[in-house]
Structure 1
Amino acid sequence: VAEYPALDFLREAAGLPEGSGVTFVSGASRANLSALTVARDVGRARLGSSDARVRIAMSDDAHSSIGKALHILDVEPFLVTTDDHRFTRGALEAALAADPHPESVVGVAATAGTTNAGIVDDLEGLGAYCREHDLWFHVDGAYGGAAMLSRTHGHLFEGLRHADSFIVDPHKWLFAPLDSCALLYRNPTVARTVLAQQAGYLDVLHEASDENYDWNPSDFGIHLSRRARGLPFWFSLCTNGVEAYRSAVQRGIDLARWTAVAIESSDQLELVRPAGLSVVLFRRRGWDAARYNAWSQALLSRQIAFVTPTKWEGETVGRLAFLHPDTTEELVTEILDSTRD
């Protein structure tokens, strides 16, 4: 019962209609797989064939769990080339126009805050296109979805209202313990039709009308056994209040923007791209991959920070991701200054 209000808080924040929602699962990999299973079957039903070749549109910057889920489902990814790593409606329309079989694309997987750079895809444009063309619209907000609570960046997430499925990890930027991922469907009945376990001893549950249906979280994901993964998140919401969450998320975004300014004023550092949500990518002039790795290990061994380099357009660069609201400007300055060594 405690999971209901926690899910409803996320539903309302995402702008999804009443009746949306459903369950908590272990993480984004399982949530994406569950949602894309529904997308595949709904798409095949629309095409009138249970084994039709279907594709899901995605960008190269989508999380690896999206590609893994499609591989498991035997669904071909329809990779869309993007400008500056942001998946937009224009890019989707151009790719479909150039493809000889656009009808096989039955859904779109967008990202609400990429893990590597914090980029929010064109949720409004992509979502509207899906509504207009009867495509399933899935949004992976595992990391960045929490920023829908932001006072300065919440507008980037207004397109979530179009989502057929949406996931967000409380165990990432919503400060819940592992493992907890919220999986929400616009129409949970559709998901239940696809994912509910079929067995004679469960007919009494499956034959119940929607009005008499007793919510069973195992009907909406690939899991069966589960624990109450939403309970710690609900307890924290009740204890701390929504505004504490808004402030904590906003702190990470503000610190990323402050860090970007500090990098631009540095002698030895360059900003690779504008800060995305709470992520900052930067370049240390003259460093190769080995030097970045040594720097990362030194910071960790000295117990200053856990900072790892990443790849950006084939180049090894530095990456800072701010989630903890108690991270200070003084600590960030110490990290940046350590690149002078």
Structure 2
Amino acid sequence: MQGVTTHSQHPSPADDPHPEPEHRTAFAQASDDLQRHRPPSPVWGDERDAVSIALEWAATHTALASDPKATARSAHDLHAEVGETITAGGIGAERAMELFDEVLLPATRASDDPMNLAYIPAAPTRAAVAFDTVVSAANVFGGLWEGGAGAIFAENQVLRWLADLLGWPADAAGVFVSGGTNGNLSALATAREHARRTRGGKPAGGWALACASTAHSSVSSAARLLDMEVVMVPVDANGHLTGQALEPLLAADERICAVVASGGTTNAGIVDDIASVVEVAHRHGAWVHVDGAYGGAALTAPSARHRFDGIEEADSFIVDPHKWLFAPYDCCALLYRDPRPAAAAHAQHAAYLDSINRGESNPADLAAHLSRRTRGLPLWYSLATHGTDAYTAAVERCLATARTVAGAIKASEHLELLLEPELSVVVFRRRGWDQDAYRTWSRRLAKDGVMLCVPTAYQGEPALRLAFVNPSVEADAVIEVLTTTMGEADGS
């Protein structure tokens, strides 16, 4: 195959005019030694080179710092440089890795760079990243206890830790799914099916869910898929969904079977008034789901835990460890205070599945999936390695950074803080700038590799936001960027 040197062709160090770096030779040798008992496949042949090349890259990349200059390129430009890689004969492992390392990866955004403060970035521990390769190599089927008992047991210990943070009973249970969209969809499907069973069938006007306009876009997406209407609840002056605003809507509309509260909105980091929402919703027989995809990690922080008061009585909850619990993509923890309605909604039955031991923990029973990788294991490994106290310290550090940067913005003569941060998102504006000025400033800093911060909107007006979910971020570095780059009146 083009571009690959087979093991039988490896020159000796003395004969090679371009000897490999010592670390590469040692790594390749170690990989070869581990693979020596694997005979070539009758179809794939000898894959030792492909394995060693990929594992060495993964090990090296895990140890290296990220590159904040990484930016997207057009498909046209990428094709011009990469060409066709899916061919009848293959392009070989070395060429494939070369293209990935030198062209494809640099055309992505570095999520874990300390100066990536856009959207909700990800800052996994190196332990979690490394263990993600273990999960792939182990190739465990994580849908059923029968196939993945040990791995599922470890995942369940993490889920129990989260349930304890929620203050939920011993029989609470959950599952790791791909992301918040899947988690919200699965939880709301459970809520709808639970209502169908407990309310005697579908109401004449169909089902509906209630949420604030600040709820994540995945809530509306889930409602469409579930044929549920979305009833928008007005928020208070500070952006919170409250039981007081919810009460008249639930009293007037029997179609509403579920209420979604935000445990940290993505745009502004606002935590709804969960306690009042739960009290009112349950009084009207509605399920309460808390979307904590971003902000739920703050349950680990004593300084922020009070914002989640009332979550002890919620019915379901999600948090994305790939957002602020330092796990790699993709990972969402979905939990149920009582898992029985979830099993009634999601458990699959077929002739080949009927022998499953339903007395054990079968993750396939708790969400809209059957096949799944044990994506909760990188978080388990990192938690087991570092301990929960380190996680508390990391989240608290992010909260402190947000408060420090917010304070500097308030003290600035040309910047305006739009709301006090409840969690680790800081929303602000530059006085005198319009949307074009924000975009010009944002693109310039991204191109120069200084900082990633993209424009947003707050209460209908253009603004900027900084999301602090990486404990390696230095507040002083962020403040210096804001001070030295936002003095120009037009952002140019």
Task: Compute the TM-score of the two structures, normalised by the length of structure 2.
Answer: 0.66
- Structure 1: stretches of 5+ with no match in the other structure: none
Q: Distance in 2 between matches of 1:224 and 1:54?
A: 26
Counterpart AA for 1:272: L
1:56 maps to 2:209: yes
- 1 CA distance for matches of 2:349 and 2:480? 57
- Match runs of 1:94-243 below 5 Å: 94-97=248-251, 99=252, 102-205=253-356, 213-243=359-389
Deviation, 1:283, is 1.0
Question: After alignment, is 130-139 or 52-61 more displaced?
Answer: 130-139
Over residues 167-202 of structure 1, what are the superposed CA-to-partner deviations in whole Å (9 max), with x where a residue is unaligned? 001111000011110010111121111111121222
Query: Which residue does 1:6 correspond to in 2?
Result: 158
Query: Secondary structure of 1:130's partner?
Result: helix
Q: Which amino acid aligns with 1:150?
A: A
Residues 1:339 and 2:491 are matched in the alignment: no
Match of 2:242 in 1: 88
**Is the aligned partner of 1:45 residue 2:197?**
yes
Q: Hey, what does 2:52 align to over in structure 1?
A: none
CA distance in structure 2 between the partners assigned to 1:251 and 1:104 by the alignment: 43
Q: Which residue in 1 is equivalent to 2:74? A: none
Q: Which of 423, 430, 437 is residue 284 of structure 1 equivalent to?
A: 430
Aligned pair count reads 333
Q: Counterpart in 2 of 1:265? A: 411
Give the deviation of 1:90 after TM superposition: 0.7
Matched, 1:316 2:470: no
Greater fraction strand: 1
Structure 2 alignment gaps of length 5 or more: 1-152
Please name the residue that 1:249 is paired with: 395
* Identity across matched positions, percent: 46
Please say which structure displays the higher CA radius of gyration.
2
CA RMSD of aligned residues (A): 1.4
Give 1:259 deviation, angstroms. Answer: 1.3
CA contact (8 A) 1:40 1:106 kept: yes
1:46 Cα shift? 2.4
The range that moved more, 327-336 or 22-31, is 327-336
CA deviations 1:88-108 (Å, max 9, x no partner) are 1111013335x3xx2221111
> 1:240-259, CA deviations, whole angstroms, 9 ceiling, x for partnerless residues?
11111111111111111111
Q: Look up the equivalent residue of 1:340 and give its one-letter code.
A: G
Q: Which stretch of structure 1 is more off in the superposition, 49-58 or 238-247?
A: 49-58
**Once the 2 structures are TM-superposed, how far is the Cα of residue 276 of structure 1 from its aligned partner?**
2.7
Aligned AA (2:326):
F
Question: How far 1:215 sits from its partner (Å)?
Answer: 1.6
Structure 2 counterpart of 1:28, one-letter code: G
Moved more, 156-165 or 176-185: 156-165
Partner of 1:22: 174
DSSP 3-state at the match of 2:322: helix
Aligned 8 A contact 2:246 2:280 in 1:
no
Q: How big is the shift at 1:82? A: 1.1
Which one-letter code corresponds to 1:290 in the other structure?
D
How far apart are 1:163 and its partner, in Å?
A: 1.4
- Say if 2:203 and 2:255, in contact at 8 Å, map to a contact too: no
Aligned to 1:65: 218
Counterpart residue identity of residue 412, structure 2: S
For 1:254, what is the secondary structure of its paired residue? helix
Runs (4+) of structure 1 exceeding 3 A deviation are 94-97
Aligned-partner Cα distance in 1 for 2:243–2:169:
23
- Please state how far the C-alpha of 1:50 moved relative to its aligned partner: 4.5
Tell me if the contact between 2:250 and 2:281 (Cα under 8 Å) persists in the aligned partners. no
TM-score (norm 1): 0.94
Give the whole-Å Cα distance in 2 for the aligned partners of 1:22 and 1:261. 39
